[in-house]
Amino acid sequence: MTDTVVKTDLETGRKSRLSPEVRRGLLGLGLGNTLEWYDWMVFGLLSAFIGPKFFPSQDPVAATLSALAVFAVGFAFRPLGGILLGTFADRIGRRRVMLWSIMMMAITTLIIAVSPTYDQIGPAAGVILLVCRIVQGISTGVEAPLSTAHAVELVPEGREGFVAGIISFYVNAGILLASLVSYLSSLMLGGAVMADWGWRVPFIVGAAFGFVVVYLRRTLPETMRPEELANNSAKTVWGGVRKHWLSVLAITFVVGAAQAYNYAWNTGLPTAARTGFKEEATAVFALTTILGVVLVVGSLIISKVADGKSMSKWFLITRALAIPSVFLMLMYVKPGIAGFAAVLLGGSVVLVLNMTLYNVVTSSLMPKGCRGAGTALGYGLGVALFGGTASYLLVWLQSMNASWIFPVYVAVLSALSIVFYLLARKKNGIFIGR
């Protein structure tokens, strides 16, 4: 914990106050999550427009699937980002790595915004897009898990629920902003212009926002003490990760199940609505914007309710609720914006519960000396194996008339995440909260 945090006696029921420096640190960390989720959501939401611009467009569905495949490739590189940048975070400190990750995201988002299309430069357009997504995958492989760990280390003990809620608020703000900017762009420019060049506008907005976050992160407080860094070689860091391998496995499934649910709701269902059921794009973006509002407001409510409570108990209850609720998507089996709205918003409450808590829960499973590498590795594996492929899998199964398989898949992932979490907690214990 930093010396700038003003603490009170938690046992009396009073909450420890946060200093201005810590609050500024939480702002910089949180807005980085906003940018990460904004960029990834925008790509998923606009994949039906991006695909025909970067890949052969004779078959719109095939071009969309190509874009979603690139979306998944970016996730495949998250474990590499977790290994490289997570190790650096445990060896040289959190602040510098947090600054690097957001710079990588801002620059590559700008490149996508101005990149030439397939009609202009041929297959090289797809290569540029792929390289940018790989760099972004490496960047985000450490962004979400390390920013949460960094935030938990900044605040006093007992405020983990507050961190869960406030970081989730910034994450959901990114999701909302992605939907809102996409909706407004579509509303103002129209579908034809969006398909032509209007899809670039949300990426330009994201790039500009990214450079603002780079500026804010220059003054992040460091939570690793000099003596901790001096004794933390790469061998020591990865020795700790190996010792806590069961915790890394649990993190992989805790993250993977939450992300599969999340990407199904935020990108998979909207993409299926536009490409499979030919729903009107502006109406779809309007509903995803409403979903974003639910997530933002819900995360703020949870930050108040869960502050000072047992994160372990909250996680187990909310993850168990995800198992039956994911089957709501089976209601959307034919064209109709009302059916899409019912599914999208019907699953939103359980979605916000799961997306608020999972990163703090995963941070609690690793000790501080290898927390950066361990949580980033587990997070990267979880989103690469289960999160990044969710949108593609959902759309593909729908095209094969086998939509029922996807909710079974997510339900199994959710059940496994509970089992592995309980096993890791029993074997290694938890290192943050209770």
Is-contact 355 225, C-beta < 8 A?
Answer: no
Q: Tell me what pLDDT residue 13 has.
A: 39
**Residue 116's domain spans which residues?**
20-218+241-428
pLDDT tens column, 96-130: 999 999 999 999 999 999 999 888 888 888 888 88
User: DSSP for 115-162?
Assistant: ---HHHHTTHHHHHHHHHHHHHHHHHHHHHHHHHHHHHHHSPTT-HHH
Rounded CA gap, 247 and 366, in Å? 7
Q: Is residue 226 part of a domain?
A: no
- Count the domains in the chain: 1
Q: Is residue 88 part of a domain?
A: yes
Burial of 196 (0-12, 13-18, 19+ CB in 10 A): middle
Low-confidence spans in the chain with pLDDT less than 70: 1-16, 57-65, 388, 433-434
Cβ–Cβ contacts within 10 Å for residue 419, how many? Answer: 11
Q: Tell me what pLDDT residue 8 has.
A: 37
Which residue bears the tokens 């703090």? 360
Q: Is residue 225 part of a domain?
A: no
| Residue 167 CA: distances (Å) to CA of 143, 312, 368 | 12, 18, 19
Rounded CA gap, 214 and 5, in Å? 24
Q: Tell me what pLDDT residue 58 has.
A: 66
Q: Is residue 291 part of a domain?
A: yes
Q: Is residue 60 part of a domain?
A: yes
Residue type at 120? Q
Helix, strand or coil, per DSSP, at residue 64: helix
Q: Is residue 235 part of a domain?
A: no
Q: Is residue 411 part of a domain?
A: yes
Burial of 218 (0-12, 13-18, 19+ CB in 10 A): exposed
Residue type at 378? G
Cβ–Cβ contacts within 10 Å for residue 176, how many? Answer: 24
Q: Tell me what pLDDT residue 62 has.
A: 67
Helices 124-154/20-45 angle, 10° precision: 150
Q: Tell me what pLDDT residue 14 has.
A: 42
Q: Is residue 404 part of a domain?
A: yes
Q: Tell me what pLDDT residue 59 has.
A: 66
CATH code for the domain of 245 = 1.20.1250.20
Global pTM reads: 0.78
